[in-house]
A and B are shown apart, each in its own frame.
Chain A
Amino acid sequence: MVEETPWQQALRYANRANPYPFYEELRKTPVARQPDGTYVVSTYREIVTLLHDPRVSSDPRKCPVLGTARTEGSVQPAAEPIREALTEPNIITCDPPEHDRDRRTMMPHFVGPPHAPHLISDLEPEIRRLVDGLLDGMRGKNRIDAVDDFAYPLPVTVICKVLGVPLEDEPRFHHWIETALDALDFGPEAASEEIRSRLAGGRQAVQDFGQFAAELLDRYADQPGPGMLSALVNEDGPEGRMSKGVLASNALLLIFAGHETTVNLIAHSVLTLLRHPDALEKLRRRPELIVPGVEELLRFESSVQFWHTRSALEDIDIAGTMIPKGAPIFLAYGSANRDPERFTDPDALDLERRDNQHLGFSQGIHFCFGAPLARLEVQVAVGEFVRRVENPRLVEDPPPYRHNQIFRGPRHVLVDIDGIRD
């Protein structure tokens, strides 16, 4: 039997709860060529360097291995239904100038001062109301699921409001997203019967989801409504309007990102604080620490563990390794955030950590579009959870994890509680 690389081990489902020892092993080779021809970059410095290198592409169409020229049995990302079903690029799967233009077109409708400097901060009262409602709903319970009862409903409601997606459609696309994600695997288990059998379902889910988005956009074209999607369909930016296909692809991306990453971050934050009672107590006593605290939680359990659409457009010489032109590159954010070369005592949770420039939202031109919204949601949600939930205890550690490796997160986090404070 061929020995598995640390990367392959890190991707095994059995190690989902704690991939960090494998990352540690991985960092001994900052840029590691994998048997399948991909390159995994695991150290902070090298990842940041590549995130700012204009010879690195995010467009899978430019990568012979990731793109259509892929051959059977080559690289694991073959098992990727989302991209296969998406024919049009979105802002994370294209390069400048397309990327810049589309991001610029979308930005004014989201955050982008000077256009809408108050859009996010004005959402705070509503976010607070939602969080309060969720916590109020836990009254009388002795056991809650911090994912289903808390982490999931908030971001979903908020992203639907921001984008203008009817909340009543949510169960449908929740199902599509889950199905698509469960079919996605980059590890040694991708070849298993189980994952292969999920692939068809994943493809179908993305197609259904895409059709849903297209229909929604058509509806807004006929009759404008609230939210960002309607605005993008109906208003001309300084550089005109996005094509319908590109808009649908980006809509999908935003609904999807609003679902997955924030949910996992809230769930991981609760889980991590329950594992570190000192930190939890500190946050209870000093609620103002929620702002640096959330940054630390972003570092400690990055919602996006790695991103994989990147490839080298030229030979790139880095850390003593030559990444050849055309090679797919995995940037392992989850590993970089625990790199002892960059962070002192990286496996310790320090809510007051200074110089905490984590890669929880990436860096460079693909820096997370939704970061300001995610920060606000998590600050309010985790802050209130800590303040209001009485004597929370973790029931099961580690909790069961979702299958997906990119958007790594617990499926459930069961917590015993004594009650809910006012």
Chain B
Amino acid sequence: MTLRATVAELVREFRASGRIVIVGASLAGLRAAETLREEGFTGSLTIIGDEPYEPYDRPPLSKQVLKGWVPADHTKLPRMREVDADWRLGVAATGLDRATKQVRLANGELVPYDRLLIATGTRARQWPNPAEAALHGVHTIRSRDDAAQLQKELAEPPSRVLVIGAGFIGSEVASVCRELDIPVTVVERGAAPLVGALGGVIGEIAAQLQCDHGVDLRCGLGVSSLEGDPGGHVRRAHLSDGSTVDADVVVASLGSIRNVEWLEGSGLAAGFWGVGCDAGGRAFDINGVVTDSIYVAGDVARAPHVLYEYQFLAMEHWDNAVLGAEAAAHNMVNLEPHYRPHLLLPGFWSGQFGVNIKSVGVPPFGDEIVFTQGSVAERRFAAAYGRRGRIVAAVTFDHGKWLEYYGKLIEQSGPFPPPPPGWDQPPDMKPMPAEFPDPRVPTAIPDVVLTGHAPSERTAEFRPRRH
């Protein structure tokens, strides 16, 4: 038998009777499972999820679910096809042993794999003071249970809601509160809402939007502590300027933490920033060497992006979960040269204060912005982000149908500022600084060190900072 025939036979055999384990039973995990079956994988498939629920959709949780339009348990993801998997729901993966190719579960069980997909996603960053976080009425919102509980309390209704953090989730929660006619205060450490994702120029518009809808918006401030009543219910927040806010529901929307703790000691390039992988979803080990049997997809994956100078980007976007999972699953049951890259142009959407906000590309990669269509005063517009004469992203407020045009320009490394439209031009089409926060602000990421003497012995090691 030729080598080529042997390899073909191995692929065939793996597809017929290999063992694939997917850790993470949300959007990426489900789509990966469906793709594996679609591609003719008939071996054993195990899907491990720490929540007791079948895969559900998250975008509605901070919108329709909170408004009470849709019950939290009605967000189950539709199935594109039968996946015929062994579902292990309600039990978390706690460890990975690459030498024996086994995933360890919280109940002590060991699940062997030939190929593994890591799709463990992210979780909400909790309010840092555990005692305060445990007060009744203090919430984060990431899971179905979170949304159900918060919806119940919003229905009461509370006398005031305090939202800590004005990113997309925080802003959406504030918007829902106003729609439900609940007084709401938003405290944001940055200069404006959405400033991390879209920069200060757009942030200023978002701030105006919130104020127009009656949000008590306080930027450039932090919450120092939360105070409860004797019954253990949150009643008041103390802000960094010494002022206080009385609120009986607090939503901490402080961003997300990647679920990588279970990979500690596995020797994968997994840390604060996610799990490093190539554009085909193949995980890197800690030395930056690609593995052959471990793949990553969804929020937890971090891969180099050709359009963005091969920077490693983690994209917490719905499309990324779906398409990254499809590419990774395809690659799991194929070999070179049939690997497929996952070259998504990132994009996200958000609905808040009656405005449909959409973006394409990576806005923080740009340093300039220019309004290209529509009217800022009417809050219906398109704007493009640029870096060194190239368009790298675009954002629209109620102008989403134009995103495809900007997406194409970005894909083709089009010029910045982009060619002006033939009509509906904003009066001022001059590029200006996009005002993203200084990227040099330190973050508490772990250190990686090199060990070993001779070049052939050298390896990397994590020295996580504990605090």
Contact = CB atoms under 8 A, between A and B. Distances in A.
B373 A96 contact: yes
A364 interface: yes
Contacts of B373: 54, 96
Given A49-B408, A97-B374, A97-B375, A55 B421 contact: yes
A313 B421 CA distance: 8
Interface residues of A, number: 20
A122 B372 CA distance: 40
Contacts of B402: 52, 54, 364-365
Interface residues of B, number: 16
A48 B401 CA distance: 12
* Most A C-beta atoms less than 10 A away, residue of B372, B373, B402: B402
B401 A365 contact: yes
A52 B404 CA distance: 6
A94 B373 CA distance: 16
A295 interface: no
A54 B424 contact: yes
Contacts, number: 52
B380 A55 contact: no
Contacts of A57: 422-423
A359 to B, nearest CB: 13
Nearest to A49: B408
A96 B405 contact: no
Interface in A277-335: 313-314
B85 to A, nearest CB: 22
Nearest to B425: A54
A52 B423 contact: no
Contact of B422 (A48, A56, A100, A363): A56
A210 to B, nearest CB: 26
A350 interface: no
Contact of B374 (A59, A96, A367): A96
B419 interface: yes
Given A96-B373, A97-B374, A314-B419, A52 B401 contact: yes
B401 A54 contact: no
Interface of B is mostly: mixed
A52 B405 contact: yes
Interface in B93-130: none
Contact of A313 (B372, B374, B401, B423): B423
Interface string B419-439: 111111000000000000000
Contacts of B422: 54-57, 62, 95, 313-314
Nearest to B421: A54
Nearest to A95: B423
Given A364-B401, A365-B401, A367-B401, A97 B408 contact: no
A367 B401 CA distance: 10
Contacts of B420: 55, 314
Contact of A96 (B404, B408, B424): B424
Contacts of B421: 54-55
A48 B424 contact: no
Contacts of A62: 422-423
A53 interface: yes
Given A49-B408, A52-B408, A55-B419, A97 B424 contact: yes
A56 B375 CA distance: 19
A323 to B, nearest CB: 12
A55 B409 CA distance: 13
* Most A C-beta atoms less than 10 A away, residue of B373, B404, B422, B424: B422
Interface string A47-80: 0110011111101001000000000000000000
Interface in A16-62: 48-49, 52-57, 59, 62
B423 A96 contact: yes
Contacts of A56: 422
Nearest to A54: B421
Interface in A89-120: 95-97, 100
Given A52-B408, A54-B372, A54-B421, 10 more contacts: A48-B404, A49-B408, A53-B405, A54-B402, A55-B421, A56-B422, A62-B422, A97-B374, A314-B419, A363-B404
Nearest 4 CB-CB pairs, A to B? A313-B422, A54-B421, A96-B424, A52-B405
Interface of A: 48-49, 52-57, 59, 62, 95-97, 100, 313-314, 363-365, 367
6 contacts: A54-B423, A62-B422, A96-B424, A97-B424, A313-B423, A364-B401
